[in-house]
Amino acid sequence: MTDRPASPAAPALPSLGGRRPNYRERVVDVLRAALIAGELRPGEVYSAPGLAPRLGVSATPVREAMLELVKEGMVEIVPNKGFRVTAVSEKQLDEYTHVRSLIEIPTTAGLAATADPADLEALRPVAQEIVGSALKGDLIAYVEADLTFHLGLLALAGNDHLVEVVRDLRRRSRLFGLTALARAGRLTASAEEHLELLDALLARDEQAVREVMTRHLGHIRGLWAAWQPTDD
């Protein structure tokens, strides 16, 4: 399937017209977030000229951005047509979430004892941005703020390699259920877990941090990937 002119079913991509600073990187970031959020669907083929008007830019930076995403395995080149969004299997999603839980839960819980309160408070505006994006139904902004928050939090542990591993796992994931969650009014509840997590960290409550992170990752796999656990 190829991309079509903008319509109600077209990917909800934000216009980047007039955004000059870090221009190329911004195009990459937006397209990556659109892929993770499921705005660009697996198996679909999108061309740079077809996507460019939706972003308010020329085709060249879109083509360059898509080539960057080919290196990350998020899309693949379809000769003479464009770029096909790669699919992620249920097994892969399970594996990504499992590895993330092994890394993120203990690392974040450990911050309850070591993180500087000022560093934690510095992440509150990002957590509030996640909630605001959820309320507006802006899924791309939601994904970008969510990534900034969690990687910023993990960076406080002082292990740069760990942060890059989690960044890669998050990029490989797909959150196809985000749109349904937003429409059902359930995305805001997940978004507010970021504020709950910060409060638990500031209270130095390691057990509460573990509980929030476990619940949060469960939402990512059980709800955001459009998959329902059998006991729901």
Secondary structure string (H, E, C) spanning the chain = CECCCCCCCCCCCCCCCCCCCCHHHHHHHHHHHHHHHCCCCCCCEECHHHHHHHHCCCHHHHHHHHHHHHHCCCEEEECCCEEEECCCCHHHHHHHHHHHHHHHHHHHHHHHHHCCHHHHHCCHHHHHHHHHHHHHCCHHHHHHHHHHHHHHHHHCCCCHHHHHHHHHHHHHCCCCCHHHHHHCCCHHHHHHHHHHHHHHHHCCCHHHHHHHHHHHHHHHHHHHCCCCCCCC
The distance from CA 5 to its chain's CA centroid, rounded to whole angstroms, is 26
Instruction: Specify burial of residue 184 (Cβ count, 10 A radius: 0-12, 13-18, 19+).
Output: exposed
Q: pLDDT value at position 224?
A: 52
Q: Are 47 and 31 in contact (CB under 8 A)?
A: no
Q: Are 16 and 26 in contact (CB under 8 A)?
A: yes
The rounded average pLDDT for each run of 10 residues, N- to C-terminus, in the chain (232 residues) is 44 53 79 86 93 91 94 92 90 89 97 98 98 89 92 97 94 74 79 96 98 87 50 40
Secondary structure string (H, E, C) spanning 167-203 = HHHHHHCCCCCHHHHHHCCCHHHHHHHHHHHHHHHHC
What distance in Å separates the CA atoms of residue 124 and residue 156, rounded to the nearest whole number?
14
User: What token pair was written down for 10?
Assistant: 């077209």
What distance in Å separates the CA atoms of residue 173 and residue 178, rounded to the nearest whole number?
12
Phi-psi region of 116 (alpha: psi -120 to 50; beta: other; left: phi over 0): beta
- List the beta bridge partners of residue 2: 45
Domain 23-85 and domain 90-224 have a common topology = no
Query: Where do the domains of the chain lie?
Result: 23-85, 90-224
Q: pLDDT value at position 39?
A: 83
Q: pLDDT value at position 219?
A: 74
What distance in Å separates the CA atoms of residue 73 and residue 216, rounded to the nearest whole number?
26
Query: Please, what's the largest Cα pairwise distance for the chain?
Result: 56
Q: pLDDT value at position 185?
A: 74
Q: pLDDT value at position 186?
A: 77
Fold of 90-224: Four Helix Bundle (Hemerythrin (Met), subunit A) (1.20.120)
Q: pLDDT value at position 121?
A: 98
CATH for 23-85?
1.10.10.10
Model's pTM, two decimal places? 0.78
